Structure 1
Amino acid sequence: MNKMKFAQPDKDQVPTDWPYRKNSRIIEVDKIKWHVQIFKNNKKKQRPLFLLIHGTGGAVHSWKNIITPLFVNADLISIDLPGHGFTYEKHENDYSLPRITELLINLLNALKIENLDKVVGHSAGAAIAIELSLQTNLGKVNHIVGINPSLVPPPPIFNTLLNPIITPFVTAKSFTSLLSSITRNTTLVDNLLTSTGSELNKDQKNLYKRIFQKNRHLNGSIKFMASTNLTELLLKTKNLKTSSTFIIGQQDNWVKREPLLKILKQYFPSSKIIENIGGHLLHETYPEKISEQILKASFIE
């Protein structure tokens, strides 16, 4: 049994004005302090349970607009991945999909969660949802929903925009302060968000800017992206028995539609594919529509 410490966050752990902070908990498992947001209707029993997993560079705030429509029909758990948002890990050595998933399983076990009706993953979060299904003996996850799943290499524009970060990260001794300075004093975050093909409002952009000013978040995002082995994951999908639905934005500039469809047809031939008008951050710009598609994928009417 993993030892767990469960507490409300203090103001230094999670900002007091962070979305849904009243639902935030800091859960320490195996020396990792997870930032978890829990949405549970205690008046109703036998409600489905959904786990929400953000993508590279994201955090729980990315689900802000979709929480309310989903919570009508299901209990929810949203997490900041290790190295992201307000989850703290001291070592940060290995951010590969298998290790991140192993840590997530330890968290779920500590929370005594034995079954997930749906794991909803955005971008790289979808890859974790797949890895989670593969690592849990195919019984803990009933259905996967991948929103613009990051199952193809990122486009050149992504690497181009990140070059100002990656180069000093690799070469400078004082890289943490350098990274923070870059995001604070340039339009890098604005350019990255614009390149997704999704138009966020000012408040949504500001949340991303705030977490990207955190050295730990920026560091973790780069390490996670660099450690992800999609080829290895896709080769393992022959053992995947969990059903899946993939929700795609036709104007996604980060996960291009055509190569993604080829991957999905090759490795997930029985999955359901739903196409929408919208960019990479589809769930943030069209929360009502996407929440409805998630719920229908869960066979909830």
Structure 2
Amino acid sequence: MPSPSHSPTGLPFDDIRDLLTRMPGPDEAAIAAVRARDAELTKPAGALGRLETIVEWVAAWSANPKPRVDRPLVAIFATSHGVTKQGVSAFPDAVNRQMLDNFAAGGAAVNQLCVANDIGLKVFDLAIDVPTPDISEEDAFDEAACAATIAFGMEAIVGADLLCLGEMGIGNTTIAAAVHHALYGGEAADWVGRGTGVDDAGLARKAEVVARAVARAGGPGLDPLEVLRRVGGREIAATVGAIIAARLQRIPVLLDGYVVTAAAAILHALDPASLDHCIAAHRSAEAAHGRVLEKIGKRPLLDLGMRLGEGSGAALACGIVRNALAVHQGMATFEQAAVSRG
């Protein structure tokens, strides 16, 4: 876990906001080149639907008129949360360390998806044996520690040309629900789901804890970075940093499920354009995930009823991205195939 000494000098949150003003836009020349080739391919215009816009997206944000994905990476940020002492999860905190061991041994679902789809995998242990404070009682971070964790996430994605973001941490759907409730208001129950599988009593307890945490923090209506600092978690802060760094390095991003989307929601609240290089990989079975995707203007690629986390939905969506690129690169043109345009 990064220490406050690694945070930016001066006012860390101001430095983060400044980064958002310096994010590059899409490469219009690369988009034009993709569209020009697409118009020559042996198919009716628009016949491949969203596969065509995926190719444009990769071109736009990688600044490559002949877009490729050769080094995709699933990055999983793993941590633990003090709020679990409130009984908001069906699993104990011991699972956090056990799952890190499972990732290392190659035994998790995402390991298999990465092997099947030829994707790199990195798992980042964000002080998993030291939970953040219980957000129903105190803030998750001070400003320096929050900024340091964002900075850690910014340094975690070296070498990728497509970033698939995931997370792991017992209790983190409670944290994500608190972030969404603080950003969007409504009732706490609007943003709370069963997570790892809590029963009805656990679901009610979870909603009460989220309501108490957001009320204690002073929300809804807080500045987005204050939402992160007061009711967020290390994995969400690191994901914020990874999304920012990917944009600065021209790396397209696939967002996984409900918890990763909490990081995206914070950035969207700061500047909606900060997510233009991101696609929502899937809509999870967590009921509020679809509502958050609507809030941030993202239409998911997949809807398979998944609720695992680990970057599993993003890993599956990576395969779709690669298939879209393979079709665009490999199809013959009308001239090459001697096919009439009709």
Query: TM-score higher than 0.5 here?
Result: no
* Bigger relative CO (Cα 8 Å, ≥ 6 apart): 2
Instruction: Name the structure with the higher strand share.
Output: 1
TM-score when normalising by structure 1 = 0.41
